[in-house]
Chains A and B, each alone.
Chain A
C-alpha cells in the first residue's frame, strides 16, 4: 500500500516551471532518495509535500486522504514532518526543551497552560537524546551546539514524534565524513515505523541507506526505481555526465 501518492503535481514560479507533472508514490517503511542536478525541483517538491508551497495543479494523497490544500500544521499533525535544509532548531532553548516542544504539538492549549504535559515525555526525550548521542548536552542551549549536533538535534526533533513520513532536506549538509556515517546509522533504525524522503547531494549517502531513488531533472521525473535500475539507466547517465 502506498503511504504517499503524488499525482501530476505542477508548480510554477513566475515563468519558471519548477515542477512539471510529477508523479511519485512512496511505500510504507521505505527510504526514498530524491536526486537531480541543481534547480531540478528537488527542494520545491519537498516543500510542496510539506506545505511550504501549494501546488498549482495535481494532488497529494497521504494515507488515503487528500492533503493538497492542508496547512503545514495540519500535515504535521497527520504524521508528515519536514526537516529544513538550514538548521532550524530553537537556539535559545535547551536541547531538552527543544524536544519537549516538538512533542507537545497535539496537546490542547488549555493542557499547555496548565502544564499537564510537562512530565509526560521525560523518558521518551531521554531515550531519543540517548539514541542521537545528545544526552550529555541535555541542558545546553541548542544554539551553543556544534553544527553537526544541531543537525542531529533537528532530526531528533522530527523523529521523536514517530512520524509516518519524514522529509529530510539535505540532512548531511556541512557535515564531516564521519558525521555523515553516523547520521546514516542514526536514520536506519527509523525504517521500522517510518518512511523517508531524502534530498541529498551526497550520492554515496543516498546509495547507502535508500531503497528507491527518484531522479528529477528540470521539474520532471527522469527515472524512478531501485538503486540498481538508476545506476544502469541510460537517461540518468546522460544527464549526470553531460550537465554535472
Chain B
C-alpha cells in the first residue's frame, strides 16, 4: 500500500512543477495568441539563477527568491523590445521566441559548459510513511504550487486586473475600445508567465540537476500538456499538466518493475511519454478534458 503513496507523491511533485510551467505558457498563449517557444529557457534561467547565487556563496533560497523576479524582468524586456512589434503576426513572434530561447540556452551553456550541476535544497531531510521516505523539499514544492495557483485563481477571478485579463482574452478589440490598454496587459502577462517559469525552474533545480538542455525537455512536455488540456480555460492546462506529470514518473515506475527493467532503457520510457501524449492529442484534438467543442 505504501508504495502507492510513494508513487502518488512523486507524481504530485512532478505535476506541480509542470503546472507552474504550463500555466505561464497557457496564459501567454490564450491571451496573446503567441506560443512561447522560449518558455523552456525561462525555466532554465530560473534554475541557473539559483546556481549563480550559490556560486556567490549565498544560500540557495536567495536564488529561489530572486529567480521569479529576475526571469520576469527578462520576460518584460523581451516583450517590450521584440514581441510587441509582432502582435499582428503570431507566427513570426513564435519564431522570434524560438530564437530568443536559442540565445538564452546557448548563453547558459557557455556559462556552465556541457556539465550537470547539483544544487542542494534549502530544506533538506526526509520524512517517513511506513517503510518509504519522502523528501521534505518535494512536499514544499507541492504546497508552494498549491498556494501560488490559488492566488492566481483569486487574482484572475476577484481583482480588477484579473477581470481586464479575462476581458481581453474574450474579445481583445472590445477590451481596447473600452479603454483597457491591451499592449500593457500583454507585456505584464508575458512577464508574469516568464516569472512563473523562472520560479518553477528555481524550485525544481534541487530535484533535477541543472544542465543547458533542461529547458528543452520541459518545453516539449509543457507543450504536450497544453495540447492535452486545451487552451483557453483555467482548468484545462492544469489537468493537462497533471496528466503529463503523472505519465513521466509513472512510466519510470513501470520501467523499474522487475520483469521489464532489463529490456527498456530509461530514455525509452521518456520517449514513450511523448508518443502516448501525441497519440492522445491525435485522437482528441480538442484536448481530453473538453467534452464538446464548437
Contact = CB atoms under 8 A, between A and B. Distances in A.
A177 interface: no
Interface residues on A, range: under 10
B4 interface: no
Interface string A16-55: 0000000000000000000000000000000000000100
B192 to A, nearest CB: 28
Contacts of A189: none
B294 interface: yes
A12 B294 CA distance: 8
A53 B294 CA distance: 8
Contacts of A53: 294
A13 B294 CA distance: 6
Nearest to A53: B294
Contacts of B294: 12-14, 53
Interface string A191-219: 00000000000000000000000000000
Interface in B269-294: 294
A14 B294 CA distance: 8
A12 B292 CA distance: 11
Interface in A47-65: 53
A47 to B, nearest CB: 12
Nearest to B294: A13
Contacts of A13: 294
A112 to B, nearest CB: 26
A13 to B, nearest CB: 5
B52 to A, nearest CB: 48
A232 B59 CA distance: 84
Contacts of A12: 294
A243 to B, nearest CB: 22
B229 to A, nearest CB: 19
A244 B294 CA distance: 29
A14 B292 CA distance: 9
Contacts of A14: 294
A224 to B, nearest CB: 27
A14 B291 CA distance: 11
A12 B293 CA distance: 11
B274 to A, nearest CB: 30
Interface of A: 12-14, 53
4 contacts: A12-B294, A13-B294, A14-B294, A53-B294
What are the 4 closest A-B residue pairs judged by CB atoms, nearest first? A13-B294, A14-B294, A12-B294, A53-B294
